[in-house]
Structure 1
Amino acid sequence: MQERQVMSVKPAGWIILLLAAVVATTPLAIDMYLPAMPIMAQQLDTSIGMVQQSLSIFLAFFGISMLICGPLADHFGRRPLALLGLSGFVMASIALSLVSSIEWFLFWRALQALCGAAATVVVPGIVRHLYQEHTAKGMSYVSMIMMLAPLLAPAIGSGVLWLANWQMIFITLAGYAAVVLLLCWRALPEISRPAVSQPLHFFSGYKVVFAQRSARADIATSMFASFSFFCFLTAVPFVYIQYFGVDEQEFSLLFGFNVLMLMLANFINSRLVTRQGPQRMLRAGLALAIVSASLLALFNFWQFGLLYTVLSIAPLMASLSLIATNADAMILMKFPDNSGTATAVIGTLRFGIGGLAGPLLAWFYNGTPLPFSLLMLLGVLCIAISQLWHTPAAAAAQPD
C-alpha cells in the first residue's frame, strides 16, 4: 500500500482540531440528552429504564459498527467513510427529534451509532500518519480537546431543555454534526489509498490481534474499565436527578466535575508515564479504583448523602481513565503493523460491553444507587483479576 502525502495542505493544528471535533460527536450524542431522560420518559409514555436502554443500544451498535468500519476505512479510504458517516449521523439526529414513540427512538439511536462510529473510526489512522512515532502525543492532543465535549454536553443539553424541549437537543446535535461535515468536506485529507485494488478481508487482522496472548489481559482490562464507566454513565441521571433530587443545572455541574477529573487524570498521566511506564501507572490507577469503588458501594449501602457519592465517584472516574489510557497504549504498542485493527478491537469491546450496562442496571433496579455502585465495583474487581492474570501470562507468553 502506498500513501499519498497530503497533510501539508492544512496546518497540523487545524487537522487535530478537526479530528477532535469528529470524535466529539460520540460523547455529545451520549451525554447531551442525559438531563432530558426523565422528561423523555414521560412524553414518550415509557419508563426511565426504557429511555436508559437507548444509551445501551447506542453503545452496542457503535461497537458493531467499529468492527465493520475499521477494515472498510483501510480498504476504501478514511475520507469517504468519514463523510458518509457524518451525513448519516446528521439525518439520524434529525429523525430522533421527530419521533413520538420509544420504539422509533431506539431504532434511530441505533442508526445514529452506526453512522457515528463510521466517522470516528478513521481518526486514529490519520493521527498515526501525522505523528508517526509520536502517535501517543497526537492522540493525547485529540483526547484533551475532545474531553470538552462530555464536559459541556450536559450543560448544553440542560440549556436547550430550559429554552425549548428535548427534541431541540437532537436538532442542536444535528447542527453541530452538519458543521463538522462541511469542515471535513473542505479540509479532511485522504492519507492512504491502496495502489492496487485488493480483496477486502475483515477477519485476518482480528485473528492476529486475538492470537497475541500477551495482549489479552490488557484487552480485558480496557473492556472492564469501560464497563464500569458506562455503568456510571447510564445510571447517573437517575442517581443524581431522581434519587438525590438535583435539578438539571446542578446535574450538569456535577457531571462536569467528573469530566474534569478525567482530564486531570490524563494530564497527570502525560507528565508521569514516560518516567514511570504505562504498567506502573495502570496499577496505580487500579489501586485508587479499588478503594474508590469500595467506598462508593459502602456509602450507598449505608444510604449516605449526595456528597459522599460525589466524592467517591470523582477519584473513581480519574482512576478508570488512568487504567483505560495505559491499557490501550500497551495494546497498540504490541501491534505496530495492525494498530488500526487493534483500535477497532478496543473500540468494539469497549462499546459492546458498555451496551450491557443498561440491561444489567434495569435487571437489578431497586430504586436506589446501590445496584450501579455494586456493578461498578464488579468491573473494577474484574480489572484486578485481569491484571493478576497479566503477570504470569506475560512472563510465559511466547510469540504466537
Structure 2
Amino acid sequence: MKFVSPSLWQVMLLAAVIAITPLAIDMYLPALPLMASALATTNALVQQSLSIYLAAYALGMLLFGPLADMLGRRPLALFGLAGFLVASVALSLVSSIEGFLLWRALQAFCGAAATVVIPGIVRHLYQQHTAKGMSYVSMIMMLAPLIAPAIGSGVMYVTHWQHIFSLLALYAAIMLLLCWHFLPEIKQQSGNSARPAFFSGYQQVFANRSAWPFIAISMFASFSFFTFLTAVSFVYISYFGVSEQLFALLFGLNVSALMLANFTNSRLVTRLGPMRMLSIGLVLALLAATSLTAVNAAGLGLWFTVLSIAPLMASLGLMATNADALILMQFPQHSGTATAVIGTLRFGSGALAGPLLGLLYTGTALPFSLLMLAGTLCILGSVIWAKALGH
C-alpha cells in the first residue's frame, strides 16, 4: 500500500499538543525570582518546582502509556488536557508555595496523559517513515520553547506573574476544543482486537533487548538537554553577566539549532535512514561537547561557549528524534507503553540534572560542561552497544 503523507494540519495539531510541556516548563522561568518573594519562600524551593514537574510528568507517563494502548489515544488526550486546564487555573490563584507545588505536580501529571499519546499517533500516520514524522512534529513543537520565555516576560511586563498560568489554561482550553473535533482515534488492527493488559506492554517493551540501546540513547540525550535547561540561566546571566534581553536571544539561538536539526533530519532520513542520521548526530555531539568543556576549562569567554552549545543542542535533537523513531517502529501495538518508557527515563534523568549540578557547583560553567560531555559519552557507549547487536 502506497504511503500517503499526513496533512500539515494534522502535524501542527499533534505538535501543538506536545508543546504544552515546553510551554509549562519555560514560560514561567523569568518569573521565578518574583514568585519566591510573592509566595514568601526561598529561590531554592521555587526552583524545585521544575524538578517536581519533571518527576510528576515521568510518573504520569508510566501510568498513562499502557492506558493509551488499552483505552485509546483520543480519550486519554482529552482527559489530560482537561486536567491540565484545571491545574493551570488553580496555579493562577495560589497564594502559598505548598499549594503551588501541589498543583504544579498535578499539572505535569495530567500533561503526561495528553502528550504520551502523540508519538503513537505519529507512528500510525507515518508507518515506516516514523522518523520523518517525529522530525516534523519536533520541529514545529520547538517554536514553544523558542518563544516561551519571551511570552512569560511579556505577561509580567503587562500584568501579574499569575497570569502566565492563566495563559497556559487558555492554551489548554483551545487544544481541548481542537482535539475534541479533530484528533483521530487509532483503532486496533484486525486480528489484534483484544486490548493489552496493563503490565503486558511493559513486558513486551523490556523483553525486546534490541530496543534497549536506543532507549538509553534517548535517556542520555534528554539528560544532557535538561542539564542545559537547568543551568542555562546561571551560565548566561549569573556567570557571564548577560542581560535578560541577550539571554532571550541566546536561548532562542539554541532552540533554533534544534529546529534546524529536525528540519535537516526530515529532509535526509528517508534516504539515509534513522541509524545513520543518529550516528552523524553523535559525531557532531562529541566534537561540540569536547569543545564546550575545553573552552570553559580554559575560561575563554561567552561567545566560545555559545558557539559550542548551539551545535551540541542540534546534535542532541538529531539523536533523540531518531532514537525515539527506532524504538517506536519496533512496538506497533505498544507504542503508548514504549513512549511511557522513553518519557519516564527521559524526564526522570532530567530531574537528576539539578541535584548533580548543585553537587558539582563551583561558581563556573565547567561542571555544566562536564555533565554535557558525560551525557554525550554515555550516548557513544549506547551506540556501540547498538552496533554490537547488529543495528
Over residues 11-34 of structure 1, what are the superposed CA-to-partner deviations in whole Å (9 max), with x where a residue is unaligned? 944333222211111111111112
Aligned to 2:328: 332
1:93-112 correspondence runs (5 A): 93-112=88-107
Which amino acid in structure 1 is aligned with residue 351 of structure 2? G
Task: Give the percent of matched residue pairs that are identical in Structure 1 and Structure 2.
Answer: 69
Partners in 1 of 2:371 and 2:62 — Cα distance?
A: 26
Tell me if 1:32 matches 2:27. yes
Which amino acid in structure 1 is aligned with residue 365 of structure 2? P
3-state DSSP of counterpart to 1:355: helix
Aligned to 2:225: 229
Partners in 1 of 2:183 and 2:355 — Cα distance?
A: 38
1:1-400 correspondence runs (5 A): 12-192=7-187, 201-392=197-388, 394-395=389-390
For normalisation by structure 2, the TM-score amounts to: 0.90
Runs of 5+ in structure 2 lacking a partner? Answer: 1-5
User: Are the equivalent residues in 2 in contact too, given 1:158–1:248 (CA < 8 A)?
Assistant: no
3-state DSSP of counterpart to 2:300: coil
Partners in 2 of 1:365 and 1:102 — Cα distance?
A: 25
User: Are the equivalent residues in 1 in contact too, given 2:23–2:144 (CA < 8 A)?
Assistant: yes
Shift of 1:193: 6.9
3-state DSSP of counterpart to 1:356: helix
Shift of 1:197: 9.4
Runs of 5+ in structure 1 lacking a partner? Answer: 1-10
* Structure 1 segments of 4+ aligned residues over 4 angstroms from their partners: 193-200
Is the deviation greater in 245-254 or in 39-48? Answer: 39-48
Which amino acid in structure 1 is aligned with residue 50 of structure 2? L
For normalisation by structure 1, the TM-score amounts to: 0.88
Change in Cα spacing, 1:274 to 1:76, as seen in structure 2 (3 Å) is closer
Partners in 2 of 1:240 and 1:165 — Cα distance?
A: 25
Shift of 1:219: 1.2
Partners in 2 of 1:206 and 1:214 — Cα distance?
A: 15
Aligned-CA RMSD value: 2.4
Over residues 57-100 of structure 1, what are the superposed CA-to-partner deviations in whole Å (9 max), with x where a residue is unaligned? 21121111111111212222222211111111112112222333
Change in Cα spacing, 1:74 to 1:322, as seen in structure 2 (3 Å) is same
Is the deviation greater in 261-270 or in 293-302? Answer: 293-302
Change in Cα spacing, 1:361 to 1:173, as seen in structure 2 (3 Å) is same
Shift of 1:128: 3.2
Is the deviation greater in 300-309 or in 153-162? Answer: 300-309
Is the deviation greater in 212-221 or in 225-234? Answer: 212-221
User: Are the equivalent residues in 2 in contact too, given 1:61–1:352 (CA < 8 A)?
Assistant: no
User: Are the equivalent residues in 2 in contact too, given 1:52–1:234 (CA < 8 A)?
Assistant: no
Q: How many residues align?
A: 385
Aligned to 1:7: none
Shift of 1:365: 2.6
Partners in 2 of 1:267 and 1:375 — Cα distance?
A: 27
Partners in 1 of 2:331 and 2:124 — Cα distance?
A: 15
Partners in 2 of 1:259 and 1:361 — Cα distance?
A: 22
Partners in 1 of 2:195 and 2:121 — Cα distance?
A: 22
Which amino acid in structure 2 is aligned with residue 357 of structure 1? A
User: Are the equivalent residues in 1 in contact too, given 2:27–2:148 (CA < 8 A)?
Assistant: yes
Aligned to 2:3: none
Change in Cα spacing, 1:304 to 1:107, as seen in structure 2 (3 Å) is farther
Is the deviation greater in 42-51 or in 84-93? Answer: 42-51
Partners in 1 of 2:195 and 2:150 — Cα distance?
A: 46
Is the deviation greater in 41-50 or in 255-264? Answer: 41-50
Partners in 2 of 1:197 and 1:133 — Cα distance?
A: 22
Shift of 1:267: 1.6
Partners in 2 of 1:208 and 1:200 — Cα distance?
A: 10
User: Are the equivalent residues in 2 in contact too, given 1:60–1:353 (CA < 8 A)?
Assistant: no
Shift of 1:315: 0.7
Shift of 1:133: 4.0
Which amino acid in structure 2 is aligned with residue 324 of structure 1? A
Shift of 1:198: 6.1
User: Are the equivalent residues in 1 in contact too, given 2:36–2:42 (CA < 8 A)?
Assistant: yes
